[in-house]
Amino acid sequence: MPFLNRLSGLTFSDFERNLESEPALIAEITEKMLLAQANAAAQEAGAIVGAAQRELDAMGGLVTPLLVGICERYYGVPVSDPSMFPLWAMAVSNYLFDAFPAAADAHAQARAGAERLCAAVDEAIAGGPAADTVLGRLLAAQAQANGVPDNQTIRTIIVSLVTAIVPTGTLAAGNMLEMLLRRGDMMTAAREATGTGDDELLSRCLFEALRFMPISPFWRRDAKRDFFLAPGKRLPEGTHVLASTYSAMFDARQVRQPNRFDPTRPASDYMLFGHGLHYCLGGAFASAVIPAILKPLLLCRIVARAPGPRGQRAFFAIFPERLFVTLQR
């Protein structure tokens, strides 16, 4: 995943070390496995796009189902209700990462979603390490190490992975596609990269498009004590701070021609996945899988927004549930 390495400034080993607080997780996820999932997702995406007639729901009929499939096939989580499973994960993610205090209904949705996700993982744990999945390998390691990691730790790891890839992966892919549909130069560049088989350039195009519509334009932080940013710049204890990574990626003092779409940008221009201990847990999957899912769509001769409301994004919380596009091959 060379594009991941450029965005973060890290190698995959660095990414592993930054998550050393979850050594059991790192032991079970490797770059080779992620690329295998990307290849599988690409094949499934190709089949879905190939079977579509003139219109396809790029979110509910392509991106989100394939991300849910990864949870079942690779993580090892049984998905009894494919239509509700992503909504449970989205409800949890929306509550956990909302920059402002959540409304009562968001709290209730998140609690219900968490209960359903935990129940699905607990069901799989009770079944034992029967499959070669992340969950299966964690259970096999547990059996060989006197119960370490324990079931609660394993459940936490797997639910975290689900909430890292399904909601944010859907949001990232939806924002990428939205920008391509809005901007002809972005669509042309992505389709040309796809047509020439340049997967590296395709990834660059998609994540450069995401810079213009990142999954979160800012992050909220609260000052737990008085803090001095610079001489004369004091943040009193209790101050609410909005750290705008979107603004930073368009800061002309640091980013050359920030308003220009430029897939050749250096890694230092991006703050899409965070950094260090706060690096996005789903960043590795997003970098490997999202371009693979969108590639078959972009191989079509024409990809355009469907007419009327169907061609506009419909949301669950902040996550795009539906976005219909028309296809011409």
128 pLDDT tier (thresholds 50, 70, 90): confident
- Residue 34 CA to residue 108 CA, distance in Å, equals 33
Structure-block tokens of residue 302: 């024409």
d(CA 174, CA 325): 12
Reported as a single tens digit per residue, the pLDDT across 4-50 is: 333 333 233 333 333 443 444 544 556 777 788 899 999 999 999 99
Residue 316's CATH number: 1.10.630.10
Instruction: Note whether residue 80 is domain-resident.
Output: yes
pLDDT of the residue at 5: 34
Q: Assign 99 a pLDDT band (cuts: 50, 70, 90).
A: low
Structure token digits, residue 83:
């239509």
Higher pLDDT, 98 or 119: 119
Alpha helices for the chain (secondary structure H): 2-8, 12-17, 23-28, 31-51, 64-70, 85-97, 104-127, 134-144, 151-182, 184-195, 199-212, 245-248, 283-298
Q: Is residue 195 part of a domain?
A: yes
Three-class SS string for 164-219? HHHHHHHHHHHHHHHHHHHCHHHHHHHHHHHHCCCHHHHHHHHHHHHHHCCCCCCE
In the chain, the percentage of residues whose pLDDT exceeds 90 is: 64
Residue 254 burial (C-beta neighbours within 10 Å; 0-12, 13-18, 19+) = exposed
- Whether 9 is in a domain gets the answer yes
Q: Give the chain's domain count.
A: 1
Amino acid at 281: L
Predicted model pTM: 0.88
Between β-strands 314-316 and 319-322, what pairing exists: parallel, antiparallel or unpaired? antiparallel
How does pLDDT run across 187-244, given as a tens digit for each residue?
999 999 999 999 999 999 999 999 999 998 888 888 899 999 888 889 999 998 888 9
Domain that holds residue 322: 2-214+281-328
